[in-house]
Amino acid sequence: MFRACRQLGLKTVAVFSEADRGALHVRDADEAVAIGGAPARESYLNAERILAAARHSRADAIHPGYGFLSENWRFADAVHQAGIEFIGPRPEAIRKMGDKIEARRLMAAAGVPVLPGSFEPVADVGGAEAVARDVGFPVFLKAAAGGGGIGIARVDKPTDLAGAFAMATRRAQAAFGTGELYIERYLERPRHVEIQVFGDSSGQIVHLYERECSIQRRHQKLVEESPAPNLPPPSKTGLASAAVAGARAIGYTNAGTMEFLVDEGGGFYFLEMNARLQVEHPVTEEVTGLDLVVAQLRVASGEPLPWSQSEIVQRRVAIECRVYAEDPSKGFLPSPGTVQRLDLPSGEGIRIESGVEAGSTVSVHYDSLLLKLIAHGATRQEALERMVNALDRCVVEGLQTTIPFLRRVVASDEFKAGRVHTQLLEQGAFNA
Amino acid sequence: MLEEIKAHITGVVFQVTTKAGDRVAAGDAVIVLESMKMEIPVEAPRSGAVKEIRVREGQTVQEGDVVAVLE
C-alpha cells in the first residue's frame, strides 16, 4: 500500500494500536497516529478513532486493507460522510455482498450459477430440514453475515441438523451480531477458484483471470496460484464472464473478488464476493505484471481503469504460500510470541510481503498471518521449483509457523500434478 | 485429588463456560480462549467437579498458566 502511494507521490499515514507501536508498517509510513488499545475493538475496529486520525492528519483517502473494517459498509459510508475518499467499492456494493443471502439472490438474477440451497434465511430447524431434504444431504449451514469461513457447519444427515443449527446460530450471533443462517449443497472434492475483478466509476469492468485457492484449513486459504492448473477451458472462460456479469449487476467499482467452487465435471457455482483487495492479490500482480494497489488509488481518485480487457494477459505463473504463526502439528493452533530470527529468501522470481522482522512481537489480538512468499516463473514447473527453494531457505524462529506444512504441500504429488481440491487437507494428503 | 488445568496456548479469556461446583466430563470446555481470531476451548482432562476458576473474561493468559482447578 505504502509502496504504491510512494510511486504516485502520495504521503502516507499509518494508524496503530498500543501493541503495534514498534511495528514495521508504522515506520514505513510518513506519519503515524496512535488509535487505542491492543484489542482490535479499541483500535483497528473502532471507526470513530480511525476517522479522528484521518481528520487529524488531514487525509484525503483511507485504504481499509484486507481485514478489520475493510468490508464494513457502515465504515465505508462514514468515511464518505466525513468527506474522505474510501479506497474500495461503494458502501452499497459492500452491503449487498456482505449479506450472503442477498448476494446469492443478486448473482442468480444476473445469470451467475449458484449452489442449490436457500435464498431466504432458514427460520428454524424445520425450515432448514425442508431445504436440506430438497437439495440433498450433506449440506453446509452458513452464516448470512458470514465470511472468512466462520460459522460454517457441515451436516451429513437429518438427525444432526438440530445440533448443528443451534451451534451455527450461536457462532454466527457471536461473530457477526446476527444468527441468520442459510443452506447450500455440499460438494465432494470441489476446487476453490476465484476471479479478480476491477471496476471504475464510469461502469467499465474487467477481470484479471483466476486464482486457484483450494489448499485451505478452517475454510481459510494457505496456498494460491494462477493460472489454475488443469482448469478446463470452458470453465475458465465461463468463470471470467460470470464474474464480470455479476460485478456489473451490482455496479461494482474498484478491486473485488468473485469466489466460486468448481466441481469435478468443471461446473462452477458462485460462493461469495469479497468486496475488497485480497491477501492473495500479489499472485495476480505477478502473473499479469499489473499493480492492483496503484490501480485502486487511481480509480478511487476518479480516473478510469488503467487497462482495457485485451491488455490484461496471464504472462507468467505465480504461486503464493502464506506463512502463519500457527502450529500445523497441533491442528493449526495459534502460536503467538516473538520472532527471534527471520531469514527471508530472495532471488530471481521471489517476492516477499512481510509484516514482521526479527524482534517483532506477534500478538494474540490479531490475525496470525506473518508473511507471504510469492514465486513466479515462465512455467508452473519453474515457479514451483522457486517456491520449493524459497520455503527451504525461509527461517522463522521463536514461534511455530506453517512453513513445514507448506513444504509438504509443494512436495506432494497432488500439488505437483495440479490436482487439488478443498478437502485434501482433511483427508490427510499433507500429513507429516 | 486436585488437578490443575493449564492453558495450552497463549490467549485472552473469551468466555468462562463453567463455575466452581459444576460437574464436567472429560473433553468439556472449562473456559474458552481467544487467540489470533480463533476461539480455542481449554478442556477438562477428566471428569470431575470444578473446584476453582482462576481467570476472568478479558484476562490474558500465557501458555502453561493455570486457568482452573478440578477436584
Rounded to two decimals, the ipTM of the complex is 0.89
Q: Do A368 and B8 touch (CB under 8 A)?
A: no
Q: Kindly state whether residue A137 falls inside one of the protein's structural domains.
A: yes
The answer to whether residue A149 scores a pLDDT higher than 80 is no
Q: What is the pLDDT of residue A177?
A: 86
pLDDT tens by residue, A186-225: 999 999 999 999 999 999 999 999 999 999 998 899 999 9
Residue A150 pLDDT > 80, yes or no? Answer: no
* Shortest Cα–Cα distance, A390 to chain B (Å): 26
Q: In Å, how far is A331's CA from the nearest CA of chain B?
A: 11
Q: Model's pTM, two decimal places?
A: 0.95
User: Are the C-beta atoms of residues A100 and A146 closer than 8 Å to each other?
Assistant: yes
In the prediction, which pLDDT does A432 show? 87
Give A280-322 pLDDT, tens digit per residue.
999 999 999 999 999 999 999 999 999 999 999 999 999 999 9
Residues of A in contact with B36 (CB under 8 A): 325-326, 334, 336, 364-368
Place of cell 507501536: A21
Answer yes or no: do A366 and B34 touch at CB < 8 A: no
**Tens of pLDDT, residues B30-54:** 999 999 988 899 999 999 999 999 9
Residues of A with CB under 8 A from a CB of B: 39, 218, 325-326, 333-337, 364-368
- Length of chain B equals 71
H-assigned helices in A192-327: 233-249, 281-288, 292-300
B48-53 and B23-24 beta bridge pairing? antiparallel
**Residue A360 has which C-alpha cell?**
517483532
Return the number of other C-beta atoms located less than 10 Å from residue A159's C-beta: 8
Provide the residue type at B25 as one letter.
Answer: A
pLDDT for the residue A309: 98
In this prediction, residue A171 has a pLDDT band, given cuts at 50, 70 and 90, of confident
- In the block, residue with C-alpha cell 443451534: A166
CA atoms of A205 and A399, how far apart (whole Å): 43
Q: Does A88 share its domain with A38?
A: yes
Question: Is residue A423 one of the residues assigned to a domain?
Answer: no
Report angle CA A341, A347, A351 to the nearest 5 degrees. Answer: 75
**Does the beta-carbon distance from B12 to A335 stay under 8 Å?**
no
What is the model's pLDDT at position A164? 93
Residue A151 has pLDDT above 80, yes or no: no
pLDDT at position A400: 97
Could you say which of A94, A127, A162 is where a domain stops? A94
CB contact B34 to A (< 8 Å): yes
A259 belongs to a structural domain: yes
Q: Considering only CA atoms, which of A252, A253, A232, A233 is closest in space to residue A110?
A: A252
For chain A, the distance separating the N- and C-terminal CA atoms, rounded to the nearest angstrom, is 37
Question: Cell numbers of B35, please?
Answer: 487467540
Structure-block grid coordinates of residue A142: 452458513
Closest alpha carbon within chain B to A331: B40
pLDDT at A42: 96
Whether A151 and A247 map to the same domain: the answer is no
B66-70 and B48-53 as β-strands: parallel, antiparallel, unpaired? Answer: antiparallel
Last residue of a domain, one of A168, A185, A202: A185
Burial class (CB in 10 A: 0-12, 13-18, 19+), A317: buried
Q: What is the mean pLDDT of residues A265-283?
A: 97
**Alpha-carbon distance B47 to B70, whole Å?**
9
Tens of pLDDT, residues A82-139: 999 999 999 999 999 999 999 999 999 999 999 999 999 999 999 999 999 999 999 9
Give the domain CATH number at A128: 3.30.1490.20
Which region among A171-175, A277-281, A316-320, A393-397 has the lowest average model confidence (pLDDT)?
Answer: A171-175
Which residues 13-32 of B have a C-beta within 8 angstroms of A? Answer: none
Are the C-beta atoms of A24 and A47 separated by less than 8 Å? no
CATH number for A73: 3.40.50.20
Give residue A381's pLDDT band: very low, low, confident or very high (50, 70, 90).
very high
Residue A346's domain is classified under what CATH number? 3.30.470.20
Domain count across chain A: 3
Range of the domain at A332: 191-416
**Does A206 lie in the same domain as A254?**
yes
Are the C-beta atoms of residues A15 and A59 closer than 8 Å to each other? no
Q: Decide if B35 and A334 are in contact by the 8 Å CB cutoff.
A: yes
Q: Would you say residue A332 lies in a domain?
A: yes
User: What are the cell numbers at A205?
Assistant: 469492468
Are A20 and A146 in a shared domain? no
Mutation target for A interface from B13, B34, B35: give the one with most A CBs within 10 A: B35
* Residues pairing with A72 in the sheet: none
Residue holding cell 525461509? A394
A334/B8 CB distance under 8 A = no
Query: Could you state, in order of their start, the residue ranges of all structural domains in chain B?
Result: 3-70
Interface contact flag, A364 B36, Cβ < 8 Å: yes
User: B3-70 — its CATH code?
Assistant: 2.40.50.100
How confident is the model at residue A328, as a pLDDT? 96
Q: All 3 cell numbers of residue A395?
A: 527461517
Distances (CA, A) of A56 to A88, A407, B35: 22, 46, 32
Q: Radius of gyration of chain B from Cα atoms? A: 11
